[in-house]
Amino acid sequence: MAEFETSGYSNRIDLYGSDGVKSYDKYCEKEPVIQAFLCPAMEEFLKSEVPGKKVLDIGCGDGYWSYQAARYGAKSIDGFDVQEKMVTLARQATSQFNMVNIKVGDVMDMPYGDETFDVAMSLYVTCNLDRERLSKHFKELYRVLKPGGKAVIVNLAEKSVDKMYLTVRGDEVVVKGKINKSLKQLPKHPTVSQVNKAFQGLQEVTKMFFAADDDGDVYQVEDASRLSNGDSIWSKTKFLTFPNFFYRDQFMLDSVIIAGLSIDQIDDIYTEERMVLYNQTHPESQLSKSVVDHPLAYIHHVSKALPNC
């Protein structure tokens, strides 16, 4: 499988171009799907595990989950992100809380001592890591957690790349034609700006993925079996397109276990009940059942064993 020009981690420091952080922040504000499904799933964890605990927010982005951890009564929250502009946003978002400390950091070498944290959150971090960094990420997570410590890891689900997601109002044949037209606009090995330009008018698609073949030609991914662990893919949302890495569900589980962590529970956050509620509250962007049939992500609840356990 060929890699895009922007597939290297060093090129992902600013994932979305020179105006990347502003675009990402705007995307988060306009992307209610993630919040509608992930927030209810995270609420129970925050209520039960965060109060009075030392919490780490890995790849904190604009600080949303550091803010939530503070609201739910964490003793302290440390967050870090590789992008300095994201750190600035996160500091602004959490400025009212004295117990929050945000800094620049790397998942391969987390800027904290061994066995520092009771709780850690790694939300949509793994999809931005190549295989080497993914392995280091889980090893570092094990290192900084206290014995008995717990973490939540939100990963892209393998099934999410099998089918595009349409609004209920969308006609699949018509939308498929628009997708093909957009793909024809792209050169071999496109840049981030070229990808965004090609797909910026395709707002009927809530979610889709595409990749490049060995010749560098871009195609829509509709069958995950065509991909290998660590392949570069692109994620198209309604408002933004950005690079990711693909991993199979079992590979992610194996990687967590190899790092020394235990899998306590796996939650499917894209439930039909939440989809119905979303459609009731967002009549302008109705979701089809494909969101449930091909869930975007899972929450993995993991822990570090106590000594002699």
pLDDT tens, position by position, 189-201: 888 778 888 888 8
Residue 46: exposure state from Cβ atoms within 10 A (0-12, 13-18, ≥19) = buried
Looking at residues 56-84, what average pLDDT do you find? 94
Q: Strand 54-58 relative to strand 117-123: parallel, antiparallel, unpaired?
A: parallel
Q: 10 pLDDT band (50/70/90 cuts)?
A: very low
pLDDT at residue 134 greater than cutoff 90: yes
pLDDT at residue 280 greater than cutoff 50: yes
User: Does 238 share its domain with 251?
Assistant: no
Q: In this predicted model, which residue has the larger pLDDT, 25 or 37?
A: 37
Report pTM: 0.86
Tell me how crowded residue 257 is: count the other CB atoms within 10 A of its CB: 13
User: Does 66 share its domain with 149?
Assistant: yes
Looking at residues 102-122, what average pLDDT do you find? 95
207 has which bridge partners? 165, 237
User: Does 17 share its domain with 139?
Assistant: no
Domain count, the chain: 2
C-alpha span between 300 and 131 (Å, rounded): 18
User: Does 262 share its domain with 195?
Assistant: no
Amino acid 6: pLDDT: 32
User: Does 32 share its domain with 114?
Assistant: yes
Q: What's the CATH code of the domain at 87?
A: 3.40.50.150
Helix axes 32-49, 64-71, angle to 10 degrees: 40
Mean pLDDT of the chain: 85
User: Does 75 share its domain with 144?
Assistant: yes
pLDDT tens, position by position, 203-240: 788 788 989 888 889 999 988 998 999 998 988 877 77
C-alpha span between 21 and 12 (Å, rounded): 12
- 3 falls within a domain: no
CB 95 within 8 A of CB 178: no
- 1 falls within a domain: no
- 308 falls within a domain: no
Question: Could you identify the residue written with the tokens 């503070």?
Answer: 70
- 309 falls within a domain: no
User: Does 144 share its domain with 224?
Assistant: no
- 278 falls within a domain: yes
User: Does 49 share its domain with 137?
Assistant: yes
- 128 falls within a domain: yes
Amino acid at 30: K
User: Does 224 share its domain with 274?
Assistant: no
- 78 falls within a domain: yes
CA angle, residues 173, 290, 281, in degrees to nearest 5: 105
Amino acid 46: pLDDT: 94
Amino acid 76: pLDDT: 98
Range of the domain at 223: 9-25+160-245
The two structure tokens encoding residue 239: 């408002």
Amino acid at 15: L
User: How does 281-295 read in b/e, with b if 16+ C-beta sit within 10 Å?
Assistant: eeeebbbbebbbebb
Amino acid 172: pLDDT: 79
User: Does 124 share its domain with 255?
Assistant: yes
Looking at residues 272-279, what average pLDDT do you find? 88
Domain-ending residue, one of 245, 263, 284: 245
pLDDT at residue 14 greater than cutoff 60: no
What secondary structure does DSSP assign to 248-303, as a single string? -HHHHHHHHHHTT-EEEEEEE---HHHHHHHHHH-GGGPBPTHHHHS-SEEEEEEE
Domain-ending residue, one of 202, 217, 245: 245
User: Does 141 share its domain with 288?
Assistant: yes
User: Does 259 share its domain with 276?
Assistant: yes
